[in-house]
Structure 1
């Protein structure tokens, strides 16, 4: 389903600081659950769910207060997205994508772009692909021209602006950043500047509308093409100085944590009343199940605690004016990868105990399995993150050993 002209026109206010976003998500849980199956069939969220996103201002809960957003803390970001993904993985993933991409745009876009997206009381809803998939050229007059086909624009069904990441060339040569890597810019484009390609037909996260879009030789002014991969946002709270990528990483962790929690809840209910040959009474009372459940629950709670700890440390450092160190960034991605490795295994284990309840539709625990397995495929969770983190971790432990003498 595609929604037209979703940009909200409302008076900007700093009252958003008082909004209890977790309460909103808890209150909408029954609706999200009741709409989940229809949303999967359509490949997009249903209108009643999107309407609550807009009316409750959830879409902007991470945006700066000066632009009408909630400027929520990183802990609130994690808890809200976890709670919503617990109700339905696709719904949590969609809000994760649009709220964090809206954060990117609102924090890093130039003033002219901000006026187009947020001026006159408007508040943009942003989807897209900030990864540098496209190619852009810096023109002699300072503008940028770019093209590319982009995938995985989650939440794009109700978005009216799109991010499009580009590698940058000038005078026929690839531009390099200070580290010698190809420089990148992110275009901010209105929906009518892109070609929307509804092609999302997948195993899990079916209702996220993670469709493709095409940018065909579009020229934008410098304020509509900035680098979101920096620790120097142009506006927003001090926490933005930990970088937009940190918020994205936190959001991905939160959604998987929500799936883990829901799978544990579902199997606790199923096992309490499920008989199986070879067991005396319900499987929920058997020591094999109980031990297994305790192990999976320990994985969930320990991961959750450590994820919050890591991101709150990054937030405190950012608020003190310190961007993430390479070691902190390595630790962050180590745990992003680990959450996506352990999380689907916890869900799979819960699903295995469900028996026929995990294969007869409608089955919430089956949907958890599909969604968690699909989340595991995201590039943010690639095992190469562990490889990249290892030198920093080894150095840390070696330093500790040397300090002890």
Structure 2
């Protein structure tokens, strides 16, 4: 177990590098959407900037950013392009937790190259893992493996036969059969294809308990556990995309200012824009307030209590529903310019694809309400529900 109780922080250097990549990411976004994956130039630039190492523990050469530092980077990349932000958040979550939780033998194999390894995979709907000497035989089929087309390793949830223990299994990409079925409304450039694994041996050191919050290396961020760390990703993504939606609508209205009958001269539009801006800023403030509180708890050596677990889920659900509402206003206000293929239309589609993720689903919201109302005494969070 790691003996580093405090959060590691790395400052703003990586955020500045992410911001410097915005022109390249924006330039390549249409091509990435058309081909269903990020462009090689963007992936190479992300590697060169060190952005695929932002979640990896410091002992493995990573930056090991704090939750709020991670959120700032993901927000910046998602503002530039939602698919790029999504790919980076997914693969860095998975290579970061692999670096923290896997056994020494696996880490030595996986993290020995000149570049940070990229991961894809799925942590829901488990496959079956049959115990075998020294490891497990893993089989199953999983959906929505974001960044699969850029990855060298795959991160998959499996249930151990005989015990039903939930574990994460890491397999080389060559052991995976991609199913190539990413034909979707939004987030097209994430390449989030389905995949299958058929009776592949996974050494014990290349797996870890799904619910572990005891890192073998690295600091306090890994004491959040896998699921709560995933909430960092989706909250930050929503912050970036929501801000971009409102900024694009502002640019659209300004470009038509001074012409009779245009949006810029409408009192109703002015009022509705103010309301949308207020809703977004309020939801963003809840996200930041909640994660500031989390960081204070982690840095003191403690783990989150039930109310804090509730709040990180509620903050994500609220920012996601808010940007979905904002996207409707932006799309409707954009008129025929939004109807045609272009940035506002793509942002609208990407928001609806991202909002469908299980982490922002209705079950979590219901359970948050039950806990906040004092109706879940003695219960704790297990994934997206509260249990005794």
Structure 1 and Structure 2 fold alike (TM over 0.5): yes
1:212 deviates by: 1.4
Post-superposition Cα deviations, 1:230-285, rounded to whole Å, max 9, x if no partner, equal 22111112121122222211111111221111110111011123379xx9553223
Structure 1 residue 348 and structure 2 residue 363: aligned? no
Relative to structure 1, the CA distance from residue 387 to residue 156 in structure 2 (aligned partners, 3 Å threshold; closer, same or farther) is same
Structure 1 residue 382 and structure 2 residue 375: aligned? no
Aligned counterpart, 2:28: 35
Q: Provide the C-alpha distance between the structure 2 equivalents of 1:154 and 1:239, rounded to a whole number of angstroms.
A: 23
TM-score, normalised to structure 1, is 0.86
| Alpha carbons 2:331, 2:345 under 8 Å: kept | yes
| Alpha carbons 1:108, 1:228 under 8 Å: kept | no
Aligned counterpart, 2:202: 220
Structure 1 residue 56 and structure 2 residue 38: aligned? no
Relative to structure 1, the CA distance from residue 151 to residue 397 in structure 2 (aligned partners, 3 Å threshold; closer, same or farther) is closer
SS in 2 for 1:233: coil
Structure 1 residue 191 and structure 2 residue 173: aligned? yes
1:183 deviates by: 2.0
Q: Provide the C-alpha distance between the structure 2 equivalents of 1:275 and 1:265, rounded to a whole number of angstroms.
A: 15
Q: Identify the match of residue 370 of structure 1 among 349, 356, 379.
A: 349
Structure 1 residue 77 and structure 2 residue 70: aligned? yes
1:105 deviates by: 0.8
Q: Provide the C-alpha distance between the structure 2 equivalents of 1:267 and 1:122, rounded to a whole number of angstroms.
A: 39
Aligned counterpart, 1:394: 373
Post-superposition Cα deviations, 1:339-368, rounded to whole Å, max 9, x if no partner, equal 22111111121111011110222x111111
Q: Provide the C-alpha distance between the structure 2 equivalents of 1:347 and 1:295, rounded to a whole number of angstroms.
A: 13
Relative to structure 1, the CA distance from residue 163 to residue 377 in structure 2 (aligned partners, 3 Å threshold; closer, same or farther) is same
Structure 1 residue 152 and structure 2 residue 144: aligned? yes
Post-superposition Cα deviations, 1:61-113, rounded to whole Å, max 9, x if no partner, equal 11111111111111111111111111111111111111111112111111111
TM-score, normalised to structure 2, is 0.90
Q: Provide the C-alpha distance between the structure 2 equivalents of 1:137 and 1:325, rounded to a whole number of angstroms.
A: 34
Aligned counterpart, 2:384: none
Q: Which runs of 5+ in 2 are unaligned?
A: 1-8, 378-388
Q: Provide the C-alpha distance between the structure 1 equivalents of 2:344 and 2:292, rounded to a whole number of angstroms.
A: 31
Q: Provide the C-alpha distance between the structure 1 equivalents of 2:199 and 2:376, rounded to a whole number of angstroms.
A: 50
Q: CA RMSD in A?
A: 2.1
Structure 1 residue 248 and structure 2 residue 230: aligned? yes
Aligned counterpart, 1:7: none
Relative to structure 1, the CA distance from residue 287 to residue 50 in structure 2 (aligned partners, 3 Å threshold; closer, same or farther) is same
